Amino acid sequence: MKSIAFFISSNGYGHYDRCKTIASYLEDDYIVTFFSNFYQYDKIGPPGESLYFQLRKETIRWDKNIKENKIRFRSYKEGLKERKFFFRKHDLIISDNIVGILKYRPDAIISGSFLWKDIFFKKFGKNKLSDFDNELIDKHNPLMLTNKYFEVGSVKEYKNKKQFGFGCPSIPFKLNKIDKTVFIEPSLNYLDSYKNFEKKLVGPYTTDINVTDNVVMVARPGGGIITHCVKHHIPLIALYDENDSSEILELAQKVEDLGIGIKQNVNDNFNNTFFEDNSIYNSIQLIKDGYKETARYIKTLV
């Protein structure tokens, strides 16, 4: 039986969760292996029937980069090297958002709708990590699997890519009058401004992401949060801090452009007039089932 491996970015839980769902459509036909940091496994749980290898070193942790105000390039390279000899054993490698794996598997597929090289360049200017990734992309021209609604930075103009819709399945549309807020604090050690924003909330609210009926979501707009909101038809107030990554700033604007919510600067007062108008949400027409379609496409590549 042929084998597929997922190499997961160290940053947050969304990358792991997305690959876990895609892998669930592949496990009956292939031996699937996950490489990720344990804190992701510990939070999200085992990757279904897939095999799991723990990564003790980290590739990219954006929260640590902004906290330390420096590029952790050595950590990036060490995270890539840790399991490099294992990568050769698999028929197909899918790297979720980490371009550096091309150094050891030039035929790896990159899954993601943004590139860290763009994020680091916009924050720090010319730097070793961005140069490293740029050189690998120019040399190997990897295939990228993207959510076409999330594409930001250089991914928008990148040619060798296969685009899909939102990863969630379609469920019946139902939205009554909003009567509660769901506030989600960023999962990692991000800017204090996000944590302090909770004090500005008015009216009843919860921090339980599983509450989905008649709510508005208030959260930093990562791909996982946006997909969750689209799946459950939850309007999103996309929190952003001007000092955060360029990806988050672009995604906050995309939330408004797609008509699925509004953006909110965490340093401003909370605009609760949103509760008076439910018509802002129209994402029922957006293309979905992207994870299943991604898995179907991967099967054509093995």
Number of domains present in the structure of the chain: 2
- pLDDT tens across 187-242, in order? 888 888 998 898 888 778 899 999 988 888 999 999 999 999 998 888 899 999 99
Question: Which segment of 54-58, 114-118, 157-161, 169-173 scores lowest on mean pLDDT?
Answer: 169-173
User: 28 in a domain, yes or no?
Assistant: yes
- Three-state DSSP string of the chain: CCEEEEEECCCCCHHHHHHHHHHHCCCCCCEEEEEEEHHHHHHHCCCCCCEEEEECCCCCCHHHHHHHCCCCHHHHHHHHHCCHHHHCCCCEEEEECCHHHHHCCCCCEEECCCCHHHHHHHHHCCCHHHHHHHHHHHHHCCCEEEECCCCCHHHHCCCCEEEECCCCCCCCCCCCCCCEEEEECCCCCCCHHHHHHHHHCCCCEECCCCCCCCEEEEECCCHHHHHHHHHHCCCEEEEECCCCCHHHHHHHHHHHHCCCEEEEECCCCCCHHHHHCCCCCCHHHCCCCHHHHHHHHHHCCC
User: 172 in a domain, yes or no?
Assistant: no
**Residue 90 pLDDT greater than 70, yes or no:** yes
User: 170 in a domain, yes or no?
Assistant: no
Indicate the residue type of 195.
K
- pLDDT tens across 19-75, in order? 999 999 999 999 999 999 999 999 999 999 999 999 999 999 999 999 899 999 999
Question: Which structure tokens are listed for 216?
Answer: 């508005």
How far apart are alpha carbons 208 and 161 in whole angstroms? 35
- Residue 204 has what pLDDT? 85
160 and 190 part of one domain: no
149 and 27 part of one domain: yes
281 and 213 part of one domain: yes
59 and 88 part of one domain: yes
58 and 36 part of one domain: yes
Asked if residue 18 lies in contact with residue 147, where contact means CB atoms within 8 angstroms, the answer is no
User: 191 in a domain, yes or no?
Assistant: yes
**Residue 265 pLDDT greater than 60, yes or no:** yes
- The β-bridge partners of 62 are none
The number of CA neighbours under 13 Å toward the Cβ of 252 is 19
pTM, whole model, 2 decimals? Answer: 0.91
- Residue 297 has what pLDDT? 98
Higher-confidence residue of 136 and 243: namely 136
**CATH number for the domain that contains residue 8:** 3.40.50.2000
Domain that holds residue 31: 3-165+289-299
277 and 293 part of one domain: no
